[in-house]
Chain A
Amino acid sequence: MNNIGKNYFDIGYMDTLAQGDSWLHQLDPRAKLITTLLFIIAVVSFGKYTIWAFIPFFLYPVFLIAAGGLPGGYLFKKVLLVSPFAILLGIFNPLIDREIILHIGTIGISGGWISFLSVLIRFVLTVIGALLLVALTGFNSVCEALRKLGVPKPFVIQLMFFYRYLFVLTDEAQRMERARALRSFHSGFMKYRTFVSVIGYLLLRTLDRAERIYYAMCCRGFDGQIHRLTSLKSRSRDFSFISVWLILFIVFRIYNIPEALGAWVMGCLG
């Protein structure tokens, strides 16, 4: 599968995951959106040398993956695939911050390595938090949550259009790329001139398609609104979902549970 096919598959698969029927899938999308943001803010608010205090936060992704019946391995692989940028910027920390702040036996570990590790943990937690939101909610419900939370309507409506036509146009781009590859003996990436005309034609087709869609929608009575059959209703369990996690995040943020537990165990052992 080429690059386009891979991405196409990914988006479709995430949407399939969102069709699940666990109680997490059925929560109000607003509750999940808010909880995700709280989770990310809590994780990001730690100091740059934090490592151990992050560990309790893994409860959130592990719980959602388990209770939502999601494929943990697939999501984790996805996180690893996007990590290069964080690694690229974080890897300078060990080179620059060389002050030794931790000794394990006779090996000294510099602050840079600690903060690098901290960046990586942050990265895994925040990215998986965002992926879980879509995998449990689905994009259209996220859009609806945004609308209900006060994001302006023109923006949300075009966002829903965008998502709807994402599949159509990715499919079209994939077909054009495949046709090009077959006619040029699979010769790797396309040449610049070919690229320009492929993109140009794709753009012209897109503009025509937009026109057709618009007329078709006008025929069906489009008045600038998108109506949905079901409307969002918050129930008490949506509020309790947010509050339980909020309390947990605050506790995890304030108390360094791993160190306290470790100290207690070491105390018991002598």
Chain B
Amino acid sequence: MHMADALISPAVGATMWTATAGLIAYSSKKIKQAADDRKIPLMGVLGAFIFAAQMINFSIPGTGSSGHLGGGMILAILLGPYAAFLVMASVLIVQALFFGDGGLLALGCNIFNMGFLSCFIAYSLVYRKIVGDKPTQGKIVAGSLAAAIIGLQLGALGVVLETVFSGISELPFRTFLLLMQPIHLAIGIVEGMVTAAVVMFVYQARPEILNAVSSFKPIGRLDLKKVIVGFLLAAIFIGGGLSWFASSHPDGLEWAMFKTSGKAELDSPGQLHTALAAVQDKTAFMPDYGFKNTEAASISEPEVKPVWPAIDLGTSLSGLIGGGLIFLIIFLIGFGFRRREVTT
């Protein structure tokens, strides 16, 4: 369930990046306050463990498919929410850089979906509430199962919302939601069972490890209210700011492209009108459709049509020819540099 760069808009990507950066700064501060040197190597090595464990597959009984560990919840149970969040973020950064799983711009979304939602929300509000201060076998199993399922449901919801807000994929909200939630319910149950079993395994072999985490107050306790309020403020500020920018600016750019495609030699009031029409196009997309059309037609020159989706054969053919030529030029440049590299 990694979000990909290809599916998100810059506004969504930047919003989630800001939120995630804030969370990383906040969690780092908490770790520093706890002044526990031991924790930092432990975090790094456990991150490597999660990474390695994700590569081991097991067969899911009765389905013929295979599954693997996600790991966010195990980390939270072993390390507490702040440290676990930082470790999940690291795992996702390495996956993005080395394997292209999710991209750099989508990193904020992915860290939020798989790190924040499981380590902060599901762990703090579900696992901790069920397990409490005195873990028993039954409580640990119930807690990890419930927390893993809820964490994955929230993560899936996050993917749906981010995709729909970005508007690159055409999937409508309802369909996508109905597609994602049941799949992630199944994944969540498997993840929950594995988490519960592994945590039980550790609990039986080395109970002191889990007891140490659950009695470790400075990192175990979470000021969730502060985190959420901060996140909401960041989201509103960035999202609002960027979408204002996004709704007025790209139209200017589209208008610029329009101009360079060699069609409209407009004088300056004309340009203004075109730009305004384009802005209107974007801002009033659903209601009073007819009104918008007539308005646009009356203020613009006859040949000024909305740029998209109005490809006619002429421009698409020129795009094809021009695109092919540019491709050729780029590869020639590439070969040129390659050769020089060899000869020097």
Which A residues are closer than 8 A to B by beta carbons?
3-4, 7, 10-11, 14, 22, 36-37, 40-41, 43-45, 47-49, 51-53, 55-56, 58-59, 62-63, 65-67, 69, 78-79, 82, 85-86, 89-90, 92-93, 96-97, 99, 101-104, 111-112, 115, 119-120, 122-123, 126-131, 133-134, 139, 142, 151-155, 157-166, 168-170, 172-173, 176-177, 188-192, 194-200, 202-204, 206-207, 209-211, 213-214, 217-218, 222-224, 253-266
**By the criterion CB–CB under 8 Å, are B49 and A169 in contact?**
yes
Q: Give the 7 A-B CB pairs with smallest separation, nearest first.
A: A161-B44, A262-B322, A262-B318, A200-B201, A152-B28, A258-B322, A195-B58
**By the criterion CB–CB under 8 Å, are B169 and A262 in contact?**
no
How many angstroms between the C-alpha atoms of A3 and B68 in the bound complex? 12
**By the criterion CB–CB under 8 Å, are A158 and B337 in contact?**
no
Q: Given B27, B91, B100, B202, which contacts A162 in the complex, CB threshold below 8 Å?
A: B91
**By the criterion CB–CB under 8 Å, are A162 and B48 in contact?**
yes
Q: Which B residues, 198 to 220, have Cβ-Cβ distances below 8 Å to chain A?
A: 198, 201-202, 205-206, 209
* Interface residue B320 (Cβ < 8 Å from any Cβ of A): yes
How many angstroms between the C-alpha atoms of A99 and B260 in the bound complex? 27
Known: A120-B6, A200-B201. A56 touches B38 (CB 8 A): no
8 new A-B contacts, CB < 8 A, other than A162-B48, A173-B55, A206-B46, are A40-B5, A52-B319, A126-B4, A128-B100, A154-B86, A202-B49, A254-B256, A259-B261
**By the criterion CB–CB under 8 Å, are A41 and B41 in contact?**
no
How many angstroms between the C-alpha atoms of A43 and B206 in the bound complex? 50
**By the criterion CB–CB under 8 Å, are A130 and B163 in contact?**
no
**By the criterion CB–CB under 8 Å, are B205 and A155 in contact?**
no
Q: Given B25, B42, B334, which contacts A62 in the complex, CB threshold below 8 Å?
A: B334
- B residues less than 8 Å from A206 (CB atoms): 45-46, 48-49
How many angstroms between the C-alpha atoms of A200 and B74 in the bound complex? 11
- B residues less than 8 Å from A218 (CB atoms): 37
Interface string of B40-62 (1 = CB under 8 A from A): 11111111110111011111110
* Interface residue B13 (Cβ < 8 Å from any Cβ of A): yes
How many angstroms between the C-alpha atoms of A165 and B333 in the bound complex? 40
- B residues less than 8 Å from A209 (CB atoms): 45
Question: What residue in chain A is nearest B102 (Cβ atoms)?
Answer: A85
* Interface residue B221 (Cβ < 8 Å from any Cβ of A): no
Known: A41-B105, A44-B9, A207-B209. A263 touches B94 (CB 8 A): no
Q: Given B53, B60, B170, which contacts A96 in the complex, CB threshold below 8 Å?
A: B170
Q: What's the minimum C-beta distance from B298 to chain A, rounded to whole angstroms?
A: 24
**By the criterion CB–CB under 8 Å, are A58 and B98 in contact?**
no
- Pick the most buried of B13, B90, B338: most chain A CB atoms within 10 A of its CB: B90
How many angstroms between the C-alpha atoms of A103 and B314 in the bound complex? 10
Question: What residue in chain A is nearest B205 (Cβ atoms)?
Answer: A204
How many angstroms between the C-alpha atoms of A104 and B316 in the bound complex? 9
How many angstroms between the C-alpha atoms of A112 and B86 in the bound complex? 39
**By the criterion CB–CB under 8 Å, are A119 and B333 in contact?**
no
Question: What residue in chain A is nearest B60 (Cβ atoms)?
Answer: A192
* Interface residue B2 (Cβ < 8 Å from any Cβ of A): yes
- Number of residues on chain B facing chain A (CB within 8 A): 109
Question: What residue in chain A is nearest B99 (Cβ atoms)?
Answer: A82
Known: A89-B7, A265-B322. A152 touches B201 (CB 8 A): no
Known: A130-B97, A266-B318. A196 touches B198 (CB 8 A): yes
Interface string of B1-28 (1 = CB under 8 A from A): 0101111111001000000000011011
- A residues less than 8 Å from B201 (CB atoms): 196-197, 199-200, 203
- A residues less than 8 Å from B260 (CB atoms): 254-256, 260
- B residues less than 8 Å from A66 (CB atoms): 333-338, 341
Q: What's the minimum C-beta distance from B165 to chain A, rounded to whole angstroms?
A: 13
- B residues less than 8 Å from A224 (CB atoms): 37, 40
How many angstroms between the C-alpha atoms of A213 and B48 in the bound complex? 14
**By the criterion CB–CB under 8 Å, are A263 and B98 in contact?**
no
Known: A92-B171, A154-B40. A194 touches B7 (CB 8 A): no
- Pick the most buried of A11, A86, A142: most chain B CB atoms within 10 A of its CB: A86
